Structure 1
Amino acid sequence: MQLTITPAIVLLFAVLAQAVFAAGLLWFAPHNQLPNRFLALLLLAIALWVLDGLWRAAGLYGQNANWYFTPIYYSLAFGPLLYFYVQSLVSQPFQLRRRHLWHFVPVLVQAVLYWWLRFEPYQTRLWFWEQVHQPYTYRIEFIGTWVSLIIYLGLSLQLLRHYRRWLPDNFSELSQLRLKWLRVLLLALGVVSVQWLVEVVLREFFHLYYAYDYSTWLLGGVVLLIGVVGLRQADMRAVHFAPLQAVEKAPQPVGETLLPGEASGGLFCASSDAVAVAPTVRQVPAAVDAAVLERIRQALEDEQLYLNPTLTLAELSAHTGLAPRLISFTVNNGFGQSFNDLVNGYRVEAVKRRLANPADVARLTLLGIAFECGFNSKTTFNRIFKQFTGVAPSEFAPQ
């Protein structure tokens, strides 16, 4: 058996080696265990598709007829593995249950077919290729994989969109939880899906079978992307994405009521001892419990929970004894903000107060002050500070 070494062969082999190595690291990663194992299986399933492309590019099928119908196709698992990866990543208590297994029935049928053919005589495989596979099952497999990927890709993007909307109401620090790389991965698979459709058209309507096989190279790029960035995902164990059910619309305001601790001024104003909530006069819906609002204000303002750089809605709930849903409703309707904006508002005001204190400025750097006020990332601090003040931290002039 001869193998002609070309740049394409070397590149495909490198992609496969990286895929196997990355899948092993993902499988045994200490955090995000279930989602990482879904991702490892997706990586291997795509790698096997690329392996078929390597064998064809190297001419190995033509040199060994027994390699035909080697069971390396598990493409109908691409979509389900992707979807369950996203679902288990954003909700760490997720468990794969019996009712989920029907998603994998198509790939099970696909695997059984190829394993059965693998042990049949060559004449049987040749007959199957000519009479069944090329005219029928190949189309079902190739087009079915495309349809499956499109459906599960849409479900994954929808789930990710809901998760990203839910995030600011539950976490005060979002930089490691936004899953920007995952969105890039899903969009990359969307590009592959478009190319897949092009190949379907070329093969079905112009009979160009394997003349335009760009999906192998595009999937190879997806493999590289997963291997590079999938391993860098932050520990998501604190994320239990379970969207709150729609809260009924609050009654119309019955009058103007000052929030506890309010005074004239902007959304927040500094005091000599603590960061005091001081929004402008706001109409508080009658449905908002003033005692609940006061307890939240007390926890953040007096007890300074905002100094916890990774403060979550669940932690605030545990500290105050209030239900997470009640806190979320009160923050949204009483303070008129998301949980993330409320907590970061306190942090920004603390930084502004410290910058006005010559002793703090002499003792600490700007970043040191930010860290002591609850920020844990320079990038996040710069972005949030400019969002609230309109200027970069280095340009801020204390009053």
Structure 2
Amino acid sequence: MQIPFTPLVVVLLAVVAQAVFAAGLLWLAPANRLPNRFLALLMLAIALWLLDGFFREANIYGQNANWYFAPIYYSFAFGPLLYFYVRSLVNHDFRLQRRHVWHFGPVLLQAGLYWWLRLQPYSTRLWFWETVHQPYTYRVEFIGTWVSLTVYLGLSLRLLQQYRRWLPDNFSEVSKLRLQWLRVLLVLVGVVSAQWLLEVVLREFFGLYYAYDYSTELLGVVVFLVGVVGLRQADMRAVRFEPELAEQELAALELQPVSTPLAVPTLPLQPDATPAASLVAEAAPETTAIQATATTATAAPVADAAVVARIRQALEQERLYLNPTLTLAELSAHTGLAARLISFTVNNGFGQSFNDLVNGYRVAEVKRRLATPDARRLTLLGIAFESGFNSKTTFNRIFKQFTGTAPRDWNAGVAE
């Protein structure tokens, strides 16, 4: 058997080899174990689909017809594996259960068909190709794969969008948890889906096969991107996002009776520190005021002032904001308040997300430190790290968000 090593053949072979190698690394990776295994299976399924493209481009089918119906087709797994990867990545507690098996029913039938055909003599496979596969099952497989991929892509995008809305209310540091690369990956899968639709239209209505087919090449780009970036994904063990539970908790909080807030007690602060509350107000005055009364029965729910005071104490006096990875769950454990009560209070009492509230204190701490003579002892980045930030990029972005000025420009103004 001779293989013409054209550029496309070489690229396809290289991508398949890279996908298999990266899938092995993902399968053995200690962090994000379950999502990484879903991702590894997705890479293998795509790699085998690309192997079919390699066989066609290298004329292996033409040189040996026995390679037809090799059990390398698992395209109905693309969509479910992608969706369950996203679902398990944003929820460390997720486990695959018996009720999820039906998602993989089509690929089990697809795999069963090809493995059965592989065990049949060539005459049976030839008959199946001419009388069943070419007029019927090939169409079902090709169109069905596009439908499955598109549906699960939509579910994945919706889940990712819900997760990105939930994230700022539960984490004070989100730069490594925003899954920006995954968003890019899903958009690229959307491009593959659009190209696949074009191929369906050309095949069904114009009888054009492999004339304008680029889905194989695009899938190669997808699997290459996954292989390069997937292993670099941050540890997501602290993330437990369940959209159904989040919606139930939000509904429960909205149904809580409206109470008139009590007077907020004045908290003792460190004698050498400017009151953090006033600094936060200076950093973001429009977001730190607490609503005093509920004007009507239909007004927005008012947070309990005692809960507001306890959160202020944890942040101002106990300085929990200095923990660079502070989460809503950690604040809940520290204060003894329910996480959903803290979330409700932060949103309705402080008028901010949890992320903005904590970062407001961090920005205020940086500004306080820059105004002291001791500021010369550390670099600007060193002060940021001691104030609760854990990356230069995040610090620059957050500081400018709250002050409208880049940290270096602010520091220059203070020095003058």
TM-score tier by shorter-chain length is over 0.9
Supply the distance in 2 between the matched residues of 1:33 and 1:322 (Cα, whole angstroms).
Answer: 31
Q: 1:260 to 1:202 in 2, by over 3 A?
A: farther
| Equivalent residue, structure 1, for 2:78 | 78
Partner of 2:377: 363
How many residues get paired? 390
Question: What's 1:272 paired with?
Answer: 273
Q: Relative to 1, partners in 2 of residues 1:11 and 1:294: Cα closer, same or farther, differing over 3 Å?
A: same
Letter in 2 for 1:37: R
Q: 1:207: which partner in 2? A: 207
Alignment of 1:282 with 2:291, yes or no, is yes
SS at match of 2:235: coil
**What is the deviation of 1:349?**
0.2
Aligned mates of 2:266, 2:404 — CA distance in 1: 25
1:310 aligned partner: 325
1:377 maps to 2:391: yes
Normalising by structure 2, report the TM-score. Answer: 0.90
TM-superposed CA distance for 1:296, in Å, is 0.6
Shift of 1:287: 4.1
Counterpart residue identity of residue 79, structure 1: G
> Match for 1:348: what amino acid?
V
SS at match of 1:327: helix
- Are 2:103 and 1:97 aligned? no
- Structure 1: how far apart are the matches of 2:363 and 2:49? 51
Deviation at 1:242, TM superposition (A): 2.4
* Correspondences of 1:188-337 after superposition (within 5 Å): 188-243=188-243, 244=246, 245=248, 246=251, 247-248=253-254, 261=266, 272-277=273-278, 278=281, 279-280=288-289, 282-283=291-292, 287-337=302-352
Q: Distance in 2 between matches of 1:119 and 1:187?
A: 39
The answer to whether the aligner puts 1:386 opposite 2:387 as a matched pair is no
Per-residue Cα deviation, 1:144-171 (whole angstroms, up to 9, x for no partner): 0000001000000000000000000000
Question: Distance between the aligned counterparts of 1:13 and 1:24, measured in 2?
Answer: 17
Give, as a single letter, the amino acid of the residue that structure 2 aligns with 1:213: D
Residue 310 of structure 1 deviates from its aligned partner by 0.2
Residues 279-320 of structure 1, C-alpha deviations (whole Å, 9 max, x = no match): 446335564211111111100110000000000000000000
> Contact conserved, 2:389 with 2:395, CA < 8 A, in 1?
yes
Q: In percent, how many aligned pairs have the same letter?
A: 73
User: Partner letter of residue 336 of structure 1?
Assistant: G
- Equivalent-residue separation in structure 2 for 1:189 and 1:158 (angstroms): 14
Q: Distance in 2 between matches of 1:368 and 1:222?
A: 39
| Contact 2:91/2:240 (<8 A) preserved | yes
1:57-136 matched pairs, under 5 angstroms? 57-136=57-136
Offset of residue 135 of structure 1: 0.6
The 3 A distance-change label for structure 1 pair 252 and 238 is closer
Match of 2:7 in 1: 7
Q: Which amino acid aligns with 2:360?
A: G
Residue in 2 aligned with 1:354? 369
Which shifted more, 278-287 or 50-59? 278-287
Distance 1:325 1:254, change over 3 A: closer
Equivalent AA in structure 2 for residue 346 of structure 1: Y
CA drift of 1:221 comes to: 0.5
**Residues 75 and 145 in structure 1, CA contact (< 8 A), matched pair in contact too:** yes
- CA drift at 1:121: 1.1
2:171·2:327 contact (CA, 8 Å) conserved in 1?
yes
Query: Does the aligned pair in 1 maintain the 2:290–2:351 contact within 8 Å?
Result: no
- For 1:227, give the aligned amino acid: G
Aligned residue in 2 for 1:169: 169
Give 3-state SS (helix, strand or coil) of 2:346's partner.
Answer: helix
Question: 1:219–1:171: structure 2 CA closer, same or farther, 3 Å change rule?
Answer: same
Q: Write the distance in 1 (CA, Å) between the matches of 2:106 and 2:191.
A: 23
Question: Residues 250 and 287 of structure 1 are in contact (CA less than 8 Å); yes or no, is this contact kept in structure 2?
Answer: no
Q: Distance in 1 between matches of 2:117 and 2:383?
A: 67
Unaligned runs of 5+ residues in structure 1 are 263-269
Instruction: Give the aligned residue type for 2:15.
Output: V
CA contact (8 A) 1:258 1:281 kept: no
The 1:14/1:261 distance shift into structure 2, 3 A limit, reads farther
Match for residue 266 of structure 1? none
Cα RMSD after superposing both structures: 1.9
Please report how far the alpha carbon of residue 260 of structure 1 lies from its aligned counterpart in structure 2 after TM superposition. 5.1
Is the 1:274–1:302 contact (alpha carbons within 8 Å) kept by the matching residues of 2?
no
With over 3 angstroms needed to count, the CA separation of the structure-2 counterparts of 1:135 and 1:259, relative to structure 1, is farther
Q: CA deviation at 1:142?
A: 0.5
1:189–1:222 Cα contact (<8 Å) kept? yes
Shift of residue 22, structure 1, vs aligned partner: 0.6
Q: Which amino acid aligns with 2:349?
A: G
- How far apart, CA to CA, are the structure 1 residues paired with 2:196 and 2:190? 10
- Secondary structure of the structure 2 residue equivalent to 1:276: helix
Over 3 Å counting, the alpha-carbon distance change for 1:280 and 1:334 in structure 2 is closer
The 2-side partners of 1:259 and 1:334 are apart by: 11
